[in-house]
């Protein structure tokens, strides 16, 4: 496959993606995300495809991952991002959902608009329910049981809010391709929706680091795929430096652009991202 970069740092470059790149990345993602949740694999699970398949996020998540999971895949209408996506979600009721930050932000804006028009007593009940949503998300992050009264708050408030988005049966929520404000991540945590950040590039066939069900942090970009590698090049005193990645998911190079390939992938096989980051004591990027 040829996946073209966005061209934000110069003319778009054609990433040469091999079949092995794609299949290895999908299998590594499954081993990392779903090994502890086999109930999320198989034909009873569903996702909705609405991102362009000419970009890596849609190709990797919607096509490769779902084929290897054996899940059902529903295709949204061509005008999904102009406003019909929620209609498709309400119909398909996906069990897994990936969105770019702007989609999550639009959902947040719409929900807050609806809430602002509700009577004060309804806002009070909603606030009470969201408090338990946050507590339950924090409990999941620590591997603890749900708090008392969570099931009541979920039934009265949280499930109804998620149902309005068509995400009431969704048990895995992801975002990637760009940063998402921490305030938005925290807002969805209050709805009992833990948004897992996936970090990667077209050159890495999508996510190279990600959060998983048994190990996640809402303010981190996850940890490295099993069998791959991530390192921080030339770190400063705070441990911050350039994020470099290596593994079987790294592209074979840029089409007809050997100079750009050599300046991006070093002699040890590390892809230099140009992004700045650091790795914490728990291995999270």
Q: Is the pLDDT of residue 7 over 90?
A: no
- Please give the tally of structural domains in the chain: 1
For CA atoms 90, 92, 97, 103, the dihedral sign is negative
- State which residues form the domain around 98: 34-193
Residue 202 lies in a domain: no
Please report the pLDDT score of residue 268 as a whole number: 97
Residue 50 lies in a domain: yes
Residue 126 lies in a domain: yes
- 8 A C-beta contact, residue 96 and residue 170: yes
Residue 283 lies in a domain: no
Q: List, in order, residues 6 or more apart from 183 with CB less than 8 Å away.
A: none
The model's pLDDT over 99-123, given as tens digits with 9 standing for 90+, comes to 999 999 999 998 888 888 878 888 8
Q: Is the pLDDT of residue 10 over 90?
A: no
Please report the pLDDT score of residue 253 as a whole number: 97
Quote the tokens at residue 160: 């109804």
Residue 247 lies in a domain: no
Give the whole-number percent of the chain exceeding pLDDT 70: 100
Residue 76 lies in a domain: yes
Residue 80 lies in a domain: yes
Cα(157)–Cα(130) distance, integer angstroms: 8
Q: How far does Cα 246 stand from its chain's mean position?
A: 20
Give the whole-number percent of the chain exceeding pLDDT 90: 78
Please report the pLDDT score of residue 42 as a whole number: 80
Would the pTM of this model clear 0.85, i.e. be above it? yes
What's the CATH code of the domain at 173?
3.40.50
Q: Is the pLDDT of residue 39 over 90?
A: no
Quote the tokens at residue 142: 């620590």
Cα(230)–Cα(246) distance, integer angstroms: 6
Q: Is the pLDDT of residue 38 over 90?
A: no
Residue 60 lies in a domain: yes
């Amino acid at each position: 496959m040829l996946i073209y970069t966005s061209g934000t740092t110069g003319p778009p470059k054609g990433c040469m993606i091999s079949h092995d790149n794609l299949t290895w990345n999908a299998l590594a993602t499954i081993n990392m995300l779903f090994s502890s949740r086999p109930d999320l694999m198989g034909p009873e699970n569903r996702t909705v495809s609405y991102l362009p398949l000419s970009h890596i996020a849609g190709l990797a998540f919607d096509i490769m991952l779902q084929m290897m999971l054996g899940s059902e895949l529903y295709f949204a209408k061509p005008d999904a991002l102009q406003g019909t996506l929620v209609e498709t979600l309400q119909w398909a009721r996906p069990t897994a959902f990936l969105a770019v930050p702007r989609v999550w932000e639009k959902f947040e804006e719409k929900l807050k608009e609806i809430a602002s028009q509700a009577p004060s007593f309804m806002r009070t009940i909603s606030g009470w329910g969201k408090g338990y949503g946050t507590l339950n998300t924090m409990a999941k992050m620590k591997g603890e049981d749900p708090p008392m009264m969570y099931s009541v708050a979920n039934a009265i408030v949280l499930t109804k809010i998620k149902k309005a988005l068509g995400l009431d049966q969704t048990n895995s929520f992801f975002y990637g391709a760009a940063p998402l404000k921490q305030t938005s991540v925290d807002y969805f945590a209050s709805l009992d929706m833990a948004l897992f950040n996936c970090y990667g590039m077209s050159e890495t066939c999508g996510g190279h680091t990600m959060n998983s069900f048994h190990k996640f942090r809402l303010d981190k970009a996850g940890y490295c795929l099993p069998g791959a590698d991530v390192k921080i090049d030339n770190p400063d005193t705070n441990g911050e430096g350039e994020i470099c990645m290596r593994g079987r998911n790294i592209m074979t190079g840029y089409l007809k652009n050997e100079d750009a390939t050599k300046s991006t992938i070093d002699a040890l096989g590390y892809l230099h991202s140009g992004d700045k980051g650091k790795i914490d004591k728990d291995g999270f990027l």
